[in-house]
Copies of this chain bind each other. A is one copy, B any other.
């Protein structure tokens, strides 16, 4: 069974980007070790990406080629006829209660990366579909921005499964979600 894993960085006050969707504050973080924060290992362990439509539009809007050509990307949206124009990308507009279990049961040993964003994450949490949260907390107070966790009526206990700190002051924690 594939796991759905949220792998994401946030400021200490819980923002994943400034309001204009910039992650410059994150890229500017001094990184004396030159660490990739386990990104390559993580990416090697996934064959499928899951993201909301807004996140899809934001990444597609970056002035770079589509960065996830080697993996299958699913865009979660209520727009049944959404057109995608990036490699290896498919729209998931069906009921999450149906499509998420099917996705997890699909073939391959590798996992599914939930890229974002907030609304999609809350939907997946509501469907008890996120297995792990790999959270990188940057030593930055951002003040405002796009929240990692939008307000919701959901309450879950987590289990801390792994943690590590980096010379940059980045603090990594991996949690399992207990439904």
Contact = CB atoms under 8 A, between A and B. Distances in A.
A109 interface: no
Interface in A127-179: 133, 135, 137, 139-144, 148-149, 151-160, 163, 165, 169-171, 173, 175, 177
A25 B169 CA distance: 28
A61 to B, nearest CB: 24
A159 B143 contact: no
Nearest to A158: B139
A12 interface: yes
Given A163-B171, A165-B163, A143 B139 contact: no
A13 interface: yes
A153 B143 contact: yes
A119 interface: no
A121 to B, nearest CB: 10
Given A12-B175, A173-B171, A154 B141 contact: yes
A143 B154 contact: yes
A126 to B, nearest CB: 11
Nearest to A13: B149
Given A13-B14, A13-B148, A25-B155, A160 B143 contact: no
B175 A155 contact: no
Given A12-B135, A141-B154, A159-B169, 7 more contacts: A12-B149, A12-B175, A125-B141, A137-B173, A139-B160, A141-B157, A143-B155
8 contacts: A25-B155, A141-B154, A141-B157, A143-B151, A158-B169, A160-B171, A163-B163, A169-B175
